[in-house]
Structure 1
Amino acid sequence: MNLLSVSHLNVNFQVKKQSLAALIDVSFTLNRGERIAIVGESGAGKSVLGFSIVNLIGKPGYIASGSIKLDNKELTTMNLRQLQEVRGKRIAMIFQDPMMTLNPVLSIGHQLVEIIRSHTKITYKDAKNIAIEKLHKVQIASPETRFNQYPHELSGGMRQRVIIASVLLLNPDIIIADEPTTALDVTIQAEILQLLLAICRDHGVALILISHDLGVVSKVAERTLVMYAGQIVEEGPTLEIINDPQHPYTQGLLNALPQMTLPGHRLNQIQGSMPPLSERPSGCAFHPRCPYATEACKQQQPKFIYSGVSSVACLMIENMIDEFDRDDPVQSDNVLEGER
């Protein structure tokens, strides 16, 4: 049984008298100890999906339909008390900016102890010992000293380590990390990613890493979901997606990486920009920016099909597979059509 199962999730934002779709028919599963990534440009719906999983979508956003199950228990219908048992204890979240999570007027130790004591009935002394142990676990030097310091006294990388320590306090089953290294320099980014990877491996914690950078994703995630305009457009093993991307959008994201450009040349970029919720194109949402778009792409919503070990929503790939089947019907059983 899957640890987490998201099925046909639709999230809308009510703007004046208009209901705008932010997530459309999103489905995926997560197994215990598995590490997956959700990638895409800003506005693709990655963070909305992360917040939806723990039901933290605030007004004007709301879950319109669909299912989110943790150990086969429906999260979308839980009341606040039930959700508080899930948040932090079963599913923990790491945000982009640690200063948005840490209270600037409370010491690090005070905040960590409060997290523990809000969920368990243990003494302050025991909670302090656990907090210091977790600070040591995330490789913070002199954790006893850091325990009494305030967030502004720590570097950005150190603050992010404190956040990771805080999510470990209650031994969660899943960590959702929303762009956890965006504000850090490259060296610290690598250290934080290695730390997350080690924690997941050592403790069997499942990870959902939200990122816009496929280079970052390749170092951590076993499986990747590529999102565009609120929909998953490609899903598969991370190495397969990086080495053989199927969807034109995934190809564009990879080509835009700095290492894909020769020194002294302009960086590659995907022409155009992510459409706002109020101006979602008909048919395939990516067609205004796609170099391979046809008239059919403007009218027809692509369905998910299996292409190799990945699944992709693209009419071009669908047509290529159809032609392959017609030319070589003996092999057609090897190409299965997936449904969401």
Structure 2
Amino acid sequence: MSFLQVNHLEVTFGLRNGAVKALRDISFSLERGERIGIVGESGAGKSVAAFAVINLLSRPGYISAGEVLFEGRDLAQLSPREMRSIRGNRIAMIFQDPMMTLNPVLTISQQMVECLQAHRNISRRDARAIAVEKLKQVQIPSPEKRLDQYPHELSGGMRQRIIIAIALLMDPALIIADEPTTALDVTIQAEIMELLLELCASNNVGLMLITHDLGIVSQVTERAIVMYAGRIIETGPTKEIINDGQHPYTQGLINALPQQTVPGHRLNQIPGSMPSLQDIPAGCAFNPRCDFVMDICKSEIPGFTRSGGCSVACHMVQAMVESARQEI
């Protein structure tokens, strides 16, 4: 069994005018030390998938079907007390806005020491020593001094490094990073992602990276999962998806990258927008925006077809693969 195995996961939000499904039939796995990226536009369901994995969904959202097996235990079935022993301990999460994560009225030391003492029976002195060591790991200069500072006294890049240090406090087996570089400038983004990659590799930590940036995914992850309207529509080795994306939506994301555009010309974009969860089109949810739409796309949800090293949920790809097999 895989280190993390998500099987047919479904997340529902109960609203006044009826329940809506934010995730539909999500299945993927992650091996120890492996790095995967989950990509898609805003509203694709990336962050909901991350919160569902650590069972951190707040009402009216809830896991309505499926299972999340982590080290053999179904996290969806654990009690809040049992989950607290896993969250922050075996699984750590890095959120996209460090100022929303860090408590502005507590020093960095107070926050790191409290985190350690919540999970381990150690003294404040020993906890502070561990905190200093973790700050050194994430290349924070003068770590003893930084511990006694408040979040507002640090730069954005420094705060994000602090968040990574806090995530590493318990030596987790898995880190979930939800858009960890969104609020940072490009040079700091590169430094943070390089640091995260180095730390995961040196500590054999699994990484689940949630992002809309295919450029970051191509540099950091080994496998990629492309989501659209709450479903996985393509998954496979990152290099293969970046170099030869099969699903029209994946191709649209790649073509929208700035480096794919001739200088001085308008950026490429996918026409239309992500559908509302309350108004998902019948059949393939991408069909209103797709240049290759067929009649079947408007009535039947496509199953996965193996194409190269990737699995693709697309009727067009399925037809092409079957046609190629008949020619052989």
TM-score by length of 2: 0.99
Q: 1:79 — aligned with what?
A: 79
Quote the offset at 1:136 in angstroms: 0.7
Q: How many angstroms apart in 2 are the aligned matches of 1:182 and 1:238?
A: 21
Mapping of residues 56-67 of structure 1, within 5 Å: 56-67=56-67
In the alignment, what sits opposite 1:13?
13
What SS does structure 1 have at the residue aligned with 2:232? strand
Q: Is residue 143 of structure 2 the alignment partner of residue 143 of structure 1?
A: yes
2:246 maps to what in 1?
246
- Residue 286 (structure 1) aligned with residue 282 (structure 2): no
Q: Does 1:94 align with 2:94?
A: yes
| Structure 1: runs of 5 or more not aligned | 329-340
Residue 156 of structure 2 aligns with which residue? 156
How far off is 1:326 after superposition? 1.6
Deviation at 1:15, TM superposition (A): 1.0
Greater Cα shift, 14-23 or 238-247: 14-23
Q: CA RMSD in A?
A: 0.6
Distance 1:305 1:323 in 2: 13
Q: Which residue of 2 aligns with 1:306?
A: 306
Cα offset, 1:17, TM superposition? 3.8
SS of 1:62's equivalent in the other structure is: strand
Q: Secondary structure at the match of 2:115?
A: helix
Q: Does 1:258 align with 2:261?
A: no
- 1:301 and 1:51 mapped to 2: Cα distance? 25
Aligned twin of 2:33: 33
What per-residue deviation string (whole Å, max 9, x for no partner) do you get for residues 130-172 of structure 1?
Answer: 0010001000000011000000000111000000000100000
Matching residue's letter, 1:49 = A
Tell me the CA shift for residue 111 of structure 1.
Answer: 0.2
**In structure 1, what is the equivalent of residue 115 of structure 2?**
115
Unaligned runs of 5+ in 2: none
Output the amino acid matched with 2:70: L
Question: What amino acid is the match of 1:103?
Answer: N
Q: What is aligned with 1:168?
A: 168
Other-structure match for 1:126: 126
Q: Matches of residues 198-237 of structure 1 in structure 2 within 5 Å?
A: 198-237=198-237
SS in 2 for 1:318: helix
Q: Which amino acid aligns with 1:50?
A: A
What's the offset of the Cα at 1:305? 1.2
Partner-residue secondary structure (3-state), 1:250: helix
Cα shift at 1:321:
1.1
1:55-98 deviation digits (Å, cap 9, x = unpaired) = 01111111100000111111111001100011011110000000
Percent identical residues:
59
Offset at residue 48 of structure 1 (A): 0.1
Q: Secondary structure in 2 aligned to 1:86?
A: coil
User: What does the per-residue CA deviation read over 1:245-281, in whole Å, with 9 as the maximum and x for residues that have no partner?
Assistant: 0000000000000111011100000000000100100
Counting only pairs closer than 5 Å after superposition, residues 313-328 of structure 1 correspond to structure 2 as: 313-328=313-328
| SS of residue paired to 1:76 | helix
Q: Which residue of 2 aligns with 1:336?
A: none
State the distance in 2 between where 1:159 and 1:279 align.
39
Aligned residues: 328
SS across alignment from 1:218: helix
